[in-house]
A and B are shown apart, each in its own frame.
Chain A
């Protein structure tokens, strides 16, 4: 983990986008960007890999579908195949139309909820979590770009960031670096 970082604060998302592009072009490493709202195209500009959460969701949906089918096949066909209102409970396929609403709902339920839980786990979000906000203004109207300064000349980097339009630049020494 980098010991020293530079926090550059911007007042506008267009300015931030420009700064991100310039900083990356100059081969400085951006470790984090804080914004008060989603900035369209920022992930692409910072060079983040595309998310795979949709793929997990699809797989969770398949799990939900399998659970629904196994559950109803066991309960309605295998375990206690009663005649309920003349519905054909001889095989799963003969009685399938009645099962489809549940199969659909469980597919959506698993896909949705497990995807959200995956999102929380991967982004390390939970109740009572200590907020990792370097500057409270970034939740309101400021944009903060955090650049590693370890192997760079701090003076030169500050000058560079100032030229990209940063309104405040501060050097952060990382205290609990262990």
Chain B
């Protein structure tokens, strides 16, 4: 039986309070009018006027080329302005300032959403991993079931918060919710059969309902199995897991179209859903490893050996490579063909977020592959912890880069709203997961594979 250590509990509460203050501060300090924006821009100008001018010149060429091609395809001027804001001077100063105002007002929303989704996707990734263990009747992992269930306790609060942000963000995130814009844009009109608010709302409800129902029933069955003398509850869980995986496959794809891809509604990529899945899956497995090491360090799970840690290490290693494969598959195909309507997505990310964009590759690919390649190292807890920290920081940046360039464009920075949101959700995550782990015995008794799992070695 685990109880959240008092110090950790206090720590998480402090994080939440600090984070909440920071988030509120972020929302209160956004500029309200165009005059505020002018003041901010004048300040920026005086700070680094020279460097910016050169930047603008560079971007102008690309933006012109892209805009021309878009114009031929029947894109409205207003839509183009939202999609790529690389050429500041082109659209006239007044509309530009309005645009900057919109982006600055969006920033606290985006900052909160990035952190909220990051922690929610960890819980969701763990839930999928858990379902896969059941559906594949894995013999090594049953000793980790309670740990996974503890982490997925965060899914309910996490997914509700993410859902609320997505629903209330409105045109901060989703330009297709702006009726004026849609009225002048042929592309968005064509997409309105899918991208309209009522349907968006219904889909969101279905996702979080489906995921949370599976979490609730699988947890209940798993606990009931511990006190049962037959395997009925296990069989139910097996079936539920199979159907959840089918449901998840579909909803995860539409979720990523809804919540992320529709932030840039003119852009589309087929691989996008799997790419986001890879991000959430590898982060989830990484957190399972971290929590396992934490509990092992407290001496609460003597039935988990370094062989189990080795397996988790292999999963982190393999899915880091899988993530990189999908990232590169998406990037290289778009880079190679260089079709204007697709390539805008990467132009803004490379021009405005270069350090993060390529730095995340080092964190998510190079470090895990080098740290976790040796099979002896995968059994050393602090080695796995190092790799896990790299992976988690890298995938936070990954989510940051999914959201920020599409919503706040080049007006991004990493300041109080971002850090505060990260702290708040980290605190909430630690608190909820700690409570979720604490309610029951950490060993899933009576599981048909528990004996095999305990004696697992290779």
A: residues with CB less than 8 A from B are 54, 58, 86, 97-98, 100
Residues of A within 8 A of B373 (CB): 58
- Decide: A86 and B336 in contact? CB cutoff 8 A: no
A97 lies within 8 A of B338 (CB):
no
Interfacial chain A residues near B331, Cβ < 8 Å = 97
Contact with A along B154-193 (1 / 0, CB 8 A): 0000000000000000000000000000000000000000
Chain B residues near A98 (CB-CB < 8 A): 332, 336
| Known pairs A86-B338, A97-B328, A100-B328 / 9 extra A-B pairs, C-beta < 8 Å | A54-B375, A58-B373, A97-B331, A97-B332, A97-B335, A97-B336, A98-B332, A98-B336, A100-B332
Pull 6 A–B residue pairs with CB atoms less than 8 Å apart, ordered by A: A86-B338, A97-B332, A97-B335, A97-B336, A98-B332, A98-B336
In the bound assembly, the distance between CA atoms of A98 and B333 in angstroms comes to 10
**B335: which A residues are within 8 A, CB to CB?**
97
Per the bound structure, the CA–CA distance linking A86 and B335 in Å amounts to: 12
Q: B323-362 vs A: 1/0 string, CB under 8 Å?
A: 0000010011001101000000000000000000000000
B residues contacting the other copy or chain, number (CB 8 A) = 8
Contacts of B328 in A (CB 8 A): 97, 100
Distance of A148 Cα from B433 Cα, bound (Å): 60
Q: In chain B, what residue has the closest Cβ to A58?
A: B373
Q: How far is the CB of A90 from chain B (nearest CB, A)?
A: 15
Helix, strand, loop or mixed for chain A's interface?
A: helix
**Nearest A residue to B335, CB-CB:** A97
Shortest distance from the beta carbon of A43 to any chain B beta carbon, whole Å: 14
| Distance between B69 CB and nearest chain A CB, rounded to angstroms | 14
Question: Bound state CA distance, A9 and B146, in angstroms?
Answer: 48
Closest approach, in angstroms, between the C-beta of A37 and any C-beta of chain B? 17
Cβ contacts under 8 Å, B332 to chain A: 97-98, 100
Taking the closest CB of chain B, its distance from the CB of A31, in whole angstroms, is 28
Residues of B293-344 contacting chain A, CB below 8 A: 328, 331-332, 335-336, 338
For A54, list chain B residues within 8 Å (CB).
Answer: 375
Chain A hits for B375, CB < 8 A: 54
A135–B375 alpha-carbon span in the complex (Å): 36
Residue of B nearest to A98 (CB): B336
Chain B, residue nearest A55 (CB): B374
Q: How distant is the Cα of A64 from the Cα of B375 in the complex, in angstroms?
A: 22
Residue of A nearest to B333 (CB): A97
- Least CB separation from B331: chain A residue: A97
Contacting residues, chain B, for A58 (C-beta < 8 A): 373
Q: Quote the shortest CB–CB distance from B365 to chain A (angstroms).
A: 12
**Closest beta carbon of chain B to A28's beta carbon, Å:** 28
Encode contact with A along B366-387: 1 for CB under 8 Å, 0 otherwise.
0000000101000000000000
- Once the chains are docked, how many angstroms separate the CA of A167 from the CA of B221? 52
Question: Which residues of B from 115 to 170 have beta carbons under 8 Å from A?
Answer: none
- The 10 A-B residue pairs whose C-beta atoms are closest, nearest first, are A97-B332, A97-B335, A100-B328, A97-B336, A98-B336, A100-B332, A97-B331, A58-B373, A86-B338, A97-B328
Q: How far is the CB of B361 from chain A (nearest CB, A)?
A: 11
Which B residues touch A97, using CB under 8 A? 328, 331-332, 335-336
Tell me which of B331, B332, B373 has the highest count of chain A C-beta atoms within 10 A of its own C-beta.
Answer: B332
Taken residue by residue from 219 to 234, chain B's Cβ proximity to chain A (1 for < 8 Å, 0 otherwise) reads as 0000000000000000
Q: Which residue of A lies closest to B334 (CB)?
A: A97
A54-B373 Cα distance, complex, nearest whole Å: 10
CA distance A17 to B335 in the complex (A): 58
Question: Closest Cβ of chain A: how far from B350's Cβ, in Å?
Answer: 12
Taking each of A54, A58, A86, A97, which has the highest tally of chain B beta carbons within 10 Å of its own beta carbon?
A: A97
Q: Which residues of B lie under 8 Å from residue A100 when comparing CB positions?
A: 328, 332
Q: Report Cα–Cα, A98/B338, bound state, in Å.
A: 13
Give B328's nearest chain A residue, CB to CB. Answer: A100
Give the shortest distance, in Å, between B339 (CB) and chain A (any CB): 12
A98 to B331, CA, bound (A): 11
Residue of B at shortest CB range from A97?
B332
Cα A72 to Cα B372 in complex, Å, equals 29
> CA A58 – CA B338 in complex, angstroms?
35
The CA-CA distance from A134 to B338 in the complex, in Å, is: 65
Q: Give 1 or 0 for each of B64-86: 1 = CB within 8 Å of chain A CB.
A: 00000000000000000000000
Instruction: Tell me which residues from 28 to 75 in chain B have a Cβ below 8 Å from any Cβ of chain A.
Output: none
CB distance from A61 to the nearest CB of B (A): 10
A8 to B190, CA, bound (A): 80
Bound CA span A58–B374, Å: 10
**A86 — which chain B residues lie within 8 A by C-beta?**
338
**Nearest CB of chain B from residue A170's CB, rounded to whole Å:** 36
CB distance from A13 to the nearest CB of B (A): 17
Name the distance in Å between A89's Cβ and chain B's nearest Cβ: 14
**C-alpha spacing A97/B330, complex, angstroms:** 11
B15 to chain A, nearest CB (A): 40
Say how far A55's CB is from chain B's closest CB, in angstroms.
9
Report the bound CA distance from A92 to B336 in whole Å: 15
* A86 CA to B337 CA, complexed, in Å: 10
A58 → B minimal CB distance (Å): 7
Measured in the bound complex, the distance between the Cα atoms of B375 and A29 in whole Å is: 30
